[in-house]
Amino acid sequence: MTAHTLVAYVEDKPGVLNRVASLFRRRTFNIESLTVGHTEQEGVSRMTIVVDTDEFGARRAEANLYKLVNVLRVDNVTTQAAVMRDLALIKVMASAATRSEILQLTDVFRARTVDVTNDSLIIEITGTEDKIEGLIEVLRPFGIIEMVRTGIVAMGRGSKSVSPNPPLVAAQVPEMVS
Amino acid sequence: MKRTGAQIIWECLIKEGVEVVFGYPGGTILPAYDAMLDYPSVHHVLVRHEQGGTHMADGYARASGKVGVAFATSGPGATNMVTGIATAMMDSSPIVCITGQVGSSLVGLDAFQETDVTGVTLPITKHNYLVTRVEDIARTIREGFYIAKSGRPGPVLMLINSAKRPVILAGHGVLQSSAMQVLKDFAEKAQIPVAMSLLGIGGLPANHPLNLGMMGMHGEAWVNHAIQQADLLLAFGMRFDDRVTGNVKTYAPKAKKIHIEIDPSELNKVVKVDVALVGDLREVLNEVLPLVAVGDREEWIEHINEMKGDSAVRDIQNLPDTGHLYAAHVINDLWRYTEGEALICTDVGQHQMWTAQYYKHNKPFKLITSGGLGTMGFGLPSAIGAKFAKPNAEVWAISGDGGFQMTAAELSTAAQENIKVNVAIINNGYLGMVRQWQEFFYDKRYAATPMKSPDFVKLAEAHGLTGIRVTQRSQVESAIRQARETEGTVVIDFRVEKEDSVYPMVPAGADLHNMIRRPMPKKPLNESLKHEEEMEFAK
């Protein structure tokens, strides 16, 4: 069992997230993370789904996603050359005595400080999961107040989109394709 | 004049070629029913329960190859459809269900008769819609019909040509893609015997010499042994259901496996295969057929035939007439006296398996049965639906006494519609299949399986229909003849042997070759003339 990353283009309609999530529940896949947001194309959302499964499971997840009418395209980017990023906001306790040390660590990780108060900092970091977990570990001794992570988003490298085919087809209904 | 949403619904349905719908009115769907009176070309069948309505739409779809349509109101009307929807979904039967919903201003407020029916049916539909605007109705209905009909309603040659002990596993996909002819050509050219799944029955004529019969939990012994001994399995339009494979770990251990299937999510789902081909079965086989070498597998086929010998002497058909009425006798006689031509709809359970074993279908689309979900109460309503699809066909529902009572109210629908279906109740006074499991696996502790039934003859008569009771084998023929000759629906109450079991049986999860067999008859039979006569007929 390893993490597999699927990128799914879906119609931007109410209930689609529910359908996708329900599919993973019903087929007993464990979702590690799921992100969803708009794409360059109006009416199309893009999901990045990380599931903990084996190769057969990932293929089955992909095939099952295709059975949902609102799913337009699915790519398994696990083994492709792809950029994968996770974003975290970490609120950490920071007194006058510890603040400069924390800021130094933040620099090392190329993270940014986005909020400062007398007794806390909010640090924003973008990167691979490993890198983010590295920062979390060094901040933990200072006292993490709260943290939020987006989950992974992924994009294939190069000028082409992850896979040029098949093209996006609206709702799979011939008359609807104009 | 601007059309109302209700009018648009009917006009769209007519445009999709809908001639009959099965439904039950109620508060929120009432506008659609009111408008219906202005569209007399669509015949509405008033069902007695929405589950029956969805089963009828399902039976209609399976018998006609068209989309079946069911109507219900919101709330309880919609939730009553759930079993019928799940049944159709599991067997890839194309139906469109239209329900009312509370007014859009009330959605989400727990209004009277409000249920989140799109939420409830989400995992048991291919797709569903909540339509809240009139302008979305036409597009939604068009999409709905398209989706229902499309997709899955939803080193190869080296392997085939070098296999010495290959078996084809023919599933529902053979019928759904109309691959009957190419399957026959393929099997004959390569000389590969064919094992049928329950829903694959009819994909190859039962009397074809290469047709082994049904495989799986209640498959014939020689079929399961052939699969276990095979060196190559060719899975055509089937999905390795657990009722077909038994223990997956010991399933066909020596066999390479080739899987041809339209739904890619079925590949490597249960059984890991060596070659997977995604596509419409008929198209794929048409391409492969010319490339397959002419086969000679006489030795293998002879070996399988030898395995049949042992089974024949255990066959209930060879039991002498002791005055007891066995279900297998009834179904075999039904097959004989209907010349094997009837369209048979069943419930789930013992009678369903006996039907698969003893009603030997030579033609496709003649067996309508809930294979995937195993729904009790499916038989009678699906038979009514099938009769609407095929008015000239001889339609029989075969049910157990338990399943029949689940949707027996639809007798009233048959009476009101003046529909002629015949109902054969295999009445053993038990929930028979569950009783059989209790006998085999629970020390004969018959918890909640003995079942008292009403007088089915009187029940039929109460509906203005004909009822017949049969308690001996000598009465079977005349009862069937009477049912066939009588106008209107006829119910036959066959009082069969109470504690008979379906053999062989692979216990759930057991190895496919470890079957419970019918005990050998105590005395050798007087060379069973009857059996040979039946075999003669089967040819």
Where does the pLDDT of residue B461 fall: very low under 50, low under 70, confident under 90, or very high at 90 and above?
very high
Q: Is the pLDDT of residue B520 over 80?
A: no
**Which residues does B520 contact at the CB level (< 8 Å), separation at least 6?**
B313, B314
* Sign for the pseudo-dihedral over CA of B30, B32, B35, B41: negative
> What's the average model confidence in pLDDT over B187-209?
96
Q: Which of B122, B143, B268 sits opposite A173 (nearest CB)?
A: B143
Is A60 in contact with B263 (Cβ distance < 8 A)? no
Determine the residue of chain A that is closest to B154 in CA distance.
A67
Q: What's the rounded mean pLDDT across residues A121-148?
A: 96
Min Cα–Cα distance to chain A from B509, Å: 20
My answer on whether A88 and A49 are in the same domain is: no
pLDDT in tens, B17-33: 999 999 999 989 999 99
* Average pLDDT estimate for B449-468: 97
What average pLDDT score do residues A91-114 get? 95
Confidence of residue B472 (pLDDT cuts 50, 70, 90): very high
B498 pLDDT above the threshold of 90: yes
- Percent of chain A topping pLDDT 90: 67
Average pLDDT for residues B328-339, to the nearest whole number?
Answer: 94
Number of residues assigned to chain A: 178
Look at A67 and B126 and tell me if their CB atoms are within 8 Å: yes
- Give Cβ neighbours of residue A25 (< 8 Å, ≥ 6 apart): none
The answer to whether B505 and B357 have CB atoms below 8 angstroms apart is no
pLDDT tens digits along B55-64: 999 999 999 9
Whether residues A6 and A76 share a domain: the answer is yes
- For A142-152, the pLDDT digits (tens) are 999 999 999 99
Give, in degrees to the nearest 5, the angle at Cα B343 between B531 and B154: 115
DSSP state of B430: B
Enclosing domain of residue A70: 2-80
- Long-range CB pairs of B311-316 (<8 Å, 24+ gap) are B311/B220, B311/B221, B311/B222, B312/B531, B313/B520, B313/B521, B313/B524, B313/B525, B314/B503, B314/B517, B314/B518, B314/B519, B314/B520, B314/B521, B315/B518, B315/B531, B316/B500, B316/B518
Reference B238, options B213, B192, B269; nearest CA is: B269
Phi (first) and psi of residue B456, to 5 degrees: -65, -30
Compute the radius of gyration of chain B from its Cα atoms. Answer: 24
Tallying the residues shown for chain B, one arrives at: 539
d(CA B493, CA B424): 6
| Same-domain check for residues A20 and A88 | no
**CB–CB of B143/B11 below 8 Å?**
no
Is residue A61 within 8 A of residue A54, CB to CB? The reply is: no
CA–CA separation, B370 and B349 (whole Å): 10
| Smallest CA–CA distance from B126 into chain A, residue | A68
Straight-line distance from the first to the last Cα atom of chain B, in angstroms, rounded to the nearest whole number: 64
Could you check whether B5-149 and B327-495 share the same CATH topology? yes
* Banded pLDDT at B152 (limits 50, 70, 90): low
Are B122 and A18 inside 8 Å of each other by CB? yes
Is A175 part of a structural domain of the chain? no
Contact B357/B219 with Cβ under 8 angstroms? no
Whether cis (ω within 30° of 0) applies to the bond prior to B364 is no
User: Are B147 and A64 a contacting pair at CB < 8 A?
Assistant: no
- Tell me how far apart the alpha carbons of residues B12 and B18 are, in angstroms, rounded to a whole number: 9
The residue to which tokens 């028979």 are assigned? B432
Interface test with B, best of A67, A70, A176 (most B CBs within 10 A): A67
Determine the distance in angstroms separating the CA of A15 from the nearest CA of chain B, rounded to an integer: 9
Q: Which of residues 260-299 of B touch A (CB under 8 A)?
A: 263-265, 267-269, 272
Q: What are the start-end ranges of the H helices in B246-339? A: 281-288, 298-314, 327-337
Task: Quickly tell me which residue has 């009477």 as its tokens.
Answer: B482
- Could you tell me if A18 and A75 lie in one domain? yes
**Residue A171: its chain B contacts at CB < 8 A?**
143
What per-residue string of b and e applies to A104-116 under the rule 16 or more CB within 10 Å gives b? ebbeebebeeeee
Q: Give all strands (DSSP E) within chain A, no chain letters.
A: 2-11, 30-38, 44-53, 71-76, 82-93, 112-116, 120-127, 144-149, 153-156
| pLDDT (mean) for B275-284 | 90
Q: In what order do the strands lie in the sheet with B68-72?
A: B43-46, B20-23, B68-72, B95-99
List of chain A residues whose C-beta atoms are within 8 Å of the C-beta of residue B152: 67
* pLDDT score recorded for residue B41: 96
Output the average pLDDT for chain B. 91
pTM above 0.90, yes or no: no
CA–CA min distance A163, chain B (Å): 19
- Residue A24's alpha-carbon distances to A78, B113, B239, B338, in angstroms, are 18, 30, 20, 47
Residue A117 makes CB contacts below 8 A (sequence gap 6+) with none
Q: Are A12 and A127 in contact (CB under 8 A)?
A: no
| Phi-psi sector, B235: left (phi>0), alpha (psi -120 to 50), beta | beta
Could B122 and A19 be called an inter-chain contact, meaning their C-beta atoms sit closer than 8 Å? yes
From chain B, the residues in CB contact with A63 under 8 A are 263-265, 267
Assigned domain for A166 exists: no
Contacts of A176 in chain B (CB under 8 A): 139, 143
Residue from B391, B409, B417 nearest B46 by CA: B417
Domain ranges of chain B: 5-149, 156-306, 327-495
Q: Does the structure show a pLDDT above 50 at A174?
A: no
User: Hey, are the CB atoms on A176 and B143 less than 8 Å from each other?
Assistant: yes
Which domain-ending residue is among A80, A100, A123?
A80
Do A101 and A47 sit in the same domain of this protein? no
pLDDT value of position B44: 96
**Position A164, amino acid:** P
Q: What is the pLDDT of residue B320?
A: 66
Topology given in CATH for the domain delimited by B5-149: Rossmann fold (3.40.50)
Structure confidence at residue B313 (pLDDT): 61
CATH of the domain at A52: 3.30.70.260
Residue B524: pLDDT band (50, 70, 90) is very low
Last residue of a domain, one of A24, A55, A80: A80
pLDDT of B265 over the 80 cut: yes
User: Residue B110's pLDDT is what?
Assistant: 85
8 A C-beta contact, residue B436 and residue B462 = no
Distances (CA, A) of B432 to B214, B372, B407, B496: 20, 19, 17, 11
**With 90 as the cut, is the pLDDT of residue B314 above it?**
no
* Number of domains forming the structure of chain A: 2
pLDDT at A165: 43
What is the pLDDT, as a whole number, of residue B109?
Answer: 86
Of A160-174, B112-126, B375-389, which has the strongest mean pLDDT?
A: B375-389
Looking at the structure, tell me whether residues A37 and A51 fall in a common domain: yes
User: What is the reported pLDDT for A178?
Assistant: 30
Cβ–Cβ contact A22 with B under 8 A: yes
CA angle at residue B15 from B12 to B16, to 5 degrees? 90
B15 touches chain A (CB under 8 A): no
Is residue A64 included in any domain, yes or no?
yes
ipTM above 0.90, yes or no: no
Residue A89 C-alpha, separation from nearest chain B C-alpha, in angstroms: 34
Model confidence band, residue B522 (pLDDT cutoffs 50, 70, 90): low
Q: pLDDT for A37-62, tens place per residue?
A: 998 888 999 999 999 999 888 988 99
**Closest among B350, B304, B329, B334 to B394, alpha carbons compared:** B334
Top residue of A173, A176, A177, A178 to mutate, by most chain B CBs within 10 Å, is A173
Give the model's pLDDT for residue A161.
62
CB of B469 within 8 Å of a chain A CB? The answer is no
Nearest CA in chain A to B127: A69
Longest pairwise C-alpha distance within chain B? 82
Peptide bond between residue A166 and the one before it cis (omega within 30 degrees of 0): yes
Q: Which residue in chain B has the smallest CA separation from A65?
A: B265
Q: Is A63 on the interface with B (CB under 8 A)?
A: yes
- Pairwise CB contact (< 8 Å): B265 & A175: no
Q: Which residue has the higher pLDDT, B217 or B156?
A: B217
Per the model's pLDDT, the better-predicted residue between B447 and B108 turns out to be: B447
Note whether B118 contacts A: Cβ–Cβ < 8 A.
yes
So what's the pLDDT on residue A79? Answer: 87
**Is the same domain home to A75 and A91?**
no
d(CA A163, CA B234) in angstroms, rounded, equals 32
Task: Taking residues B387-402, report their average pLDDT.
Answer: 97
The Cα–Cα gap between B56 and B313 comes to 40
- Lowest mean pLDDT: which of B56-70, B72-86, B120-134, B192-206? B120-134
pLDDT above 60 (res B529): no
List the single residue in A22, A64, A172 with the smallest CB-CB distance to B265: A64
Q: Which fold, B327-495? A: Rossmann fold (3.40.50)
CA distance B493 to B327: 11
pLDDT of res. B539: 34
Mean pLDDT of the B355-362 span: 94
Percent of chain A with pLDDT over 70: 89
Q: Assess whether pLDDT exceeds 90 at residue B201.
A: yes
One domain, residues A119 and A146: yes
What the block records as the tokens of B405 is: 């009572």
CATH class, range B156-306: alpha beta
CA–CA dist B131, B104 (Å, integer): 9
pLDDT of residue B310: 67
Average pLDDT over residues B464-479: 96
Q: Verify that A76 and A88 share a domain, yes or no.
A: no
Contacts A56 to B, Cβ<8 Å:
268, 272
Mean pLDDT lowest among A170-174, B33-37, B91-95, B414-418 = A170-174
DSSP B110-121: --TT---HHHHH
Q: How many CA atoms lie within 13 A of B156 on its CB side?
A: 15
Which one of A63, A80, A97 terminates a domain? A80
